[in-house]
């Protein structure tokens, strides 16, 4: 749509930090409809638990039960949240996405662990408000893999 993307990824001690800047070089406002879409291997046909973290700590997302099968997704308003995680019980691992809320509209998760990719996506959706000419919007997040289920 004309937006320019600058992506910077930095390895940290226990993950990877990302900074995604969307700049509008045009003379007209452009929609900020951008999504950060990392994909992680589920290491088998393990249905993950999805967890969200805000000021009250971690809480399990009630819609992500796996009862609808090995393919599931949802979009969650990011307001009040600073992290999302996918917990895999059998290997006792969780993938965490730690976000800085500036520029973020929603969080999304997707998993399809029965297919050939056995994937989990922890996605960050940018604020869709138009980006004015000559301005930019930046999303910052860090993805980590750690042991254990989040403690509520």
pLDDT per residue as tens digits for the range 56-92? 999 999 876 555 567 788 899 999 999 999 999 888 9
Mean pLDDT across the chain? 90
Question: How far is residue 75's CA from residue 107's CA, in Å, rounded to a whole number?
Answer: 6
Q: What per-residue confidence (pLDDT) applies to 67?
A: 59
pLDDT average, residue stretch 83-102:
94
Query: Which two three-digit tokens encode residue 33?
Result: 């409809």
Query: What's the Cα-to-Cα distance from 152 to each of 60, 84, 122, 144, rounded to whole Å?
Result: 8, 13, 20, 18
1-60 pLDDT, tens digit each: 789 999 999 999 889 999 999 999 999 999 988 999 999 988 788 788 999 999 999 999
Question: How far is residue 107's CA from residue 123's CA, in Å, rounded to a whole number?
Answer: 6
Q: What per-residue confidence (pLDDT) applies to 50?
A: 93
pLDDT classification of 109: cutoffs 50, 70, 90: very high
CA triplet 72, 112, 46: central angle to 5 degrees?
100
Query: What's the Cα-to-Cα distance from 76 to each of 5, 107, 122, rounded to whole Å?
Result: 24, 5, 11
Query: Which two three-digit tokens encode residue 27?
Result: 């003379």
Q: What per-residue confidence (pLDDT) applies to 66?
A: 55
Q: Residue 134: which residues within 8 A CB-CB, separation 6 or more?
A: 24, 25
pLDDT classification of 117: cutoffs 50, 70, 90: confident
Question: How far is residue 74's CA from residue 96's CA, in Å, rounded to a whole number?
Answer: 16
The sign of the torsion formed by the CA atoms of 64, 67, 71, 72 equals negative
pTM of the model: 0.89
């Amino acid at each position: 749509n004309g937006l320019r993307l600058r992506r910077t990824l930095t390895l940290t001690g226990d993950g990877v930090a990302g900074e995604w800047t969307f700049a509008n070089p045009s003379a007209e406002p452009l929609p900020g409809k951008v999504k950060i879409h990392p994909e992680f291997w589920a290491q088998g046909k393990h249905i993950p638990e999805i967890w969200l973290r805000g000021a009250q700590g971690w809480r399990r997302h009630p819609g992500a039960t796996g009862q609808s099968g090995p393919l599931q997704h949802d979009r969650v308003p990011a307001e009040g949240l600073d992290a999302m995680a996918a917990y895999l019980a059998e290997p006792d691992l969780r993938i965490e996405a730690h976000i800085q809320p500036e520029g973020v509209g929603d969080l999304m998760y997707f998993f399809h662990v029965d297919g050939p990719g056995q994937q989990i996506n922890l996605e960050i959706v940018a604020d869709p408000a138009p980006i004015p000419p000559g301005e930019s919007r930046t999303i910052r997040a860090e993805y980590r893999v750690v042991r254990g289920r989040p403690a509520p």
